[in-house]
A and B are shown apart, each in its own frame.
Chain A
Amino acid sequence: MSDHKRVEQQHVEAALKALLPVPAALDRDRLMFRAGRAAHRSPAWRAGLLAGLLALLAGAGGTFLVMRDSGLRVEYVSVYVSPATAPKPPPPAESPKAPSTPAPESSPVPVVALPEPTWDWFASMTSPAGGYLQLRDQALRWGVEALPSAPAGVAEGTAPLPKNLLQMQAKMLNKMPGF
């Protein structure tokens, strides 16, 4: 570029540069407020990532709670009682008309020994310390078979049943603590 052209160019540049652009009609306060808010705003992807992680955690926790083993198991125990030790039922009264069909003695019949509810056992259940409500819930939930067996003494039937109402009341009061 020749010097003459360069001088011409500089002259045009100077003439144009003397023109000042119209000042920007910006709302400065609003702009500073918005800029401050934008500077402190966490990025959207970070909030999304956090929400995703929390949702994943909640899903995993829910699946774990549903699939986990509850820890409470009901075990059915069958008690086989041999015919020799089993108490023999009293022989039915023979009637001359009804022919008796004797049961086969060769194969032992499995008999489930159920606790015989006696008065002591019942009293221990009704007392608050005996956990009657707990046993009731257990029976409602898992069935009667899940109830614990009665104490040995009770099963043997050593405790005599009350003969009248007064004896029953006295026995109940003796069993209940605080009376």
Chain B
Amino acid sequence: MMEPELLARLIERHAAALVLYARQWCAAAEDVVQEALVKLAGQRVLPRNVPAWLYRVVRNGAISAARAESRRRRHEAEAAQARPWFQADTDAVMDSETATLALRQLPLEQREIIVAHLWGGLSFEDAGQLAGCSSSTAHRRYLAGLALLRERLGIACPITSELNSNTSKRP
């Protein structure tokens, strides 16, 4: 049986990333995450890897919710899609809305690996199991997604910028 303290720690640590992960498929991400946490509390024996288990349940629930949402009115889904994914008042170098837009434009197979690894903290093996692929494929998708994001967001690497500035200064 799950202790309330453990559940509170899991909510504290993983809830936001799980909601972000669920948003890759559906708009009612909070409901999906809540159901996953309740389901976890109902388990007699805790899973060996609790975060990976949670991400799997959230993924399945989000896909089911997305199917249900597609049957509802379209404008409701569009209004839900407009919700921001990231906090605006952070010290991040990029704008949260721009990042959300760029992330949304990525292919789903790359996006879910990036979210699970970068914000969920899952290993490539766990993320690959979630997506139904090998860990090497998951890593490859991750790198491809990062490259696309770097291009779209215009993130300049300090070394490259320094090199470019040095070449431009030369006569």
- Bound pair (A, B): yes
Residues in A lying within 8 Å of B, measured CB to CB: 4, 7-9, 11-13, 15-28, 31-32, 34-36, 38-39, 41
**Contact yes or no, A8 B2, CB < 8 A:** no
Residue in contact with B2 in the complex, picked from A16, A23, A39, CB distance below 8 Å: A39
**Contact yes or no, A20 B90, CB < 8 A:** yes
**Contact yes or no, A26 B34, CB < 8 A:** yes
Query: Please, how many angstroms separate the alpha-carbon atoms of A151 and B154 in the complex?
Result: 122
Residues in B lying within 8 Å of A, measured CB to CB: 1-2, 4, 7-8, 11, 15-20, 30, 33-34, 37-42, 83-87, 90-94, 96, 99, 114, 118-119, 143, 146, 149-150, 153, 155, 157-160
- Secondary structure dominating the interface of A: helix
**Contact yes or no, B160 A8, CB < 8 A:** yes
Residue in contact with A35 in the complex, picked from B15, B20, B41, B90, CB distance below 8 Å: B41
**Contact yes or no, A19 B92, CB < 8 A:** yes
Chain A residues with Cβ under 8 A from B87's Cβ? 19-23
Query: Please, how many angstroms separate the alpha-carbon atoms of A25 and B155 in the complex?
Result: 30
Query: Please, how many angstroms separate the alpha-carbon atoms of A177 and B158 in the complex?
Result: 122
Residue in contact with B84 in the complex, picked from A11, A22, A41, CB distance below 8 Å: A22
**Contact yes or no, B4 A8, CB < 8 A:** no
**Contact yes or no, B90 A39, CB < 8 A:** no
Closest A residue to B102 using CB positions = A16
Residue in contact with A41 in the complex, picked from B37, B40, B42, B83, CB distance below 8 Å: B42
